[in-house]
Amino acid sequence: MVSSPCHGPAPLLQVRDLCVAYGREPAALRVVDGVSFQLAEGEIVGLVGESGCGKSTLGAALLRLVTAPGRIVAGSIRFEGADLIGLPEAQMRKVRGRKISMIVQDALAALNPVVRVGRQVGEVVRDHIDISTDETRRLVLDTLCRVRLPRPELTARNYPHELSGGMQQRVLIGQGLILGPRLLVADEPTTALDVTIQSQILDLLLHIRDENGTAILLITHDLATVADVCDRVMVMYGGRIVEMGGVDAIFSQPKHPYTQALLAGLLPLRGEPPTQLPALAGQPPRPDDLPGGCRFHPRCPLWSRLGRPEVCVKDDPAIAYDDDRYAAACHFAHIEGSVAAETLARLEPNAGHG
């Protein structure tokens, strides 16, 4: 894959040709394959795609938390100019929590059910900073207040099961933010929460960004959320980034057929809602059964529309940059207008999402 160009000040995070594989060569299965991107300080970037496209694995890889038998087999992850892949594990433990934190999907599963909330949040402090018990307690209560938990003293004494889903999620966010990390990886932070609580959590993430300049990688299936809170979007398919760009550009003029298909399933904000929403048929490819050429071509409406050109079957499209902020990996990304519109119109209604 082609590495993304640099733009402006040095990025906070710079990922180059990152590959994560399971198994041993030559039969290793690459679930993240040649991914390159960068994040600036204070930037919120959304990472979207269907389940099984490698999003969560990519997020875990940034903290070197890929579980065995998975491992990073190629590429680099530079954070604040230092290569994280080359760091000894003892030094990497100092980065996690203090400089880079992660919020996982299932708050209740992530929290220890038999340990009080205040102690769990305080463990992050005790792992990284040598301060007194009273100072730790004050920092924990201040953090619970910052993430807008009511009555932080009472919350600190509660066990996780005594809190609502939204409060549990705020505890996880507080745990991730207590030491003021510069980068937050948020993996589906609003999953299983009702719409009102989702909105509150997203407002909280925006507040954290504005208050601290924290960069956020937001992993989500929810394109409406990305439109609301993100500065840029990365679309992932088959372990690769197939399109990236600013929110306005991606939502108004998506160039990759996969992005077009994802956006076609959104309800319009204005006008009469359709009786049926178009849906993309089929499933993302398994790592052990990747198609040749473009990984999306077996499901691609544009490939069918153009008469199934051989180049899509034989040649893997490199990600091509129009400028330093936009890129797409498609042999026919330059095709716009009527062909793209017809492509979206030909998607089969109610075919079901992967």
pLDDT in tens, 8-17: 567 999 999 9
> How would you label 200-226 residue by residue, b for 16+ Cβ within 10 Å and e otherwise?
ebbebbeebbeebebbbbbbbebbebb
Least confident residue range of 98-102, 133-137, 201-205, 258-262? 201-205
**pLDDT bucket at 348, cuts 50 / 70 / 90:** very low
pLDDT in tens, 37-84: 999 999 999 999 999 999 999 999 999 999 889 999 999 999 999 999
Specify the higher pLDDT residue, 79 or 319: 79
By DSSP bridging, strand 29-39 and strand 183-187 are unpaired
Half-sphere exposure of 129 (CA within 13 A, CB side): 17
Instruction: Say yes or no to pLDDT of 326 above 90.
Output: no
Instruction: Say yes or no to pLDDT of 279 above 80.
Output: no
Q: Is the bond leading into 26 cis (omega within 30 degrees of zero)?
A: yes
Cross-strand partners of 240: 237
Quick count: other Cβ atoms within 10 Å of Cβ 316?
A: 17
pLDDT in tens, 218-246: 999 888 889 999 999 999 999 999 999 99
Average pLDDT over every residue of 131-151: 93
SS3 content of the chain, % helix, strand, coil (to 5): 35, 20, 45
In single-letter form, the type of residue at position 312 comes to C
Instruction: Say yes or no to pLDDT of 349 above 70.
Output: no
**Whole-number pLDDT of residue 273:** 63
- The ranges assigned to domains in the chain are 253-345
Instruction: Say yes or no to pLDDT of 338 above 50.
Output: no
**pLDDT bucket at 2, cuts 50 / 70 / 90:** very low
